[in-house]
Amino acid sequence: MEAARLALADDLPALVAIGERIRAELAPHRGGDLLLHAEDGVTPWRDRLADAVAATTDEIGRDVVVVGTFDDVVFGMAVLRHRRLSDDRMIGELDDFCVDAEAREVGIGEAMMDLVIERLEAAGASGVDARALPGDRETKNFFESFGLKARQLIVHRAL
Q: What is the mean pLDDT of the chain?
A: 92
Check residue 40 and give its pLDDT: 56
28 is a domain residue: yes
Domain containing 105 equals 2-144
- The stretch 113-123 carries a mean pLDDT of 97
Whether residue 40 lies inside any domain: the answer is: yes
CATH number at residue 80: 3.40.630.30
The two most distant CA atoms of the chain are separated, in Å, by 48
In angstroms, what is the C-alpha Rg of the chain? 15
What is the pTM assigned to this prediction?
0.91
pLDDT at residue number 28: 79
* Total domains in the fold of the chain: 1
Q: Has residue 57 been placed in a domain?
A: yes
What distance in Å separates the CA atoms of residue 27 and residue 129, rounded to the nearest whole number?
Answer: 21
Of 110, 55, 102, which is closest to residue 79 (Cα–Cα)? 55
Confidence check: pLDDT of 8 > 70: yes
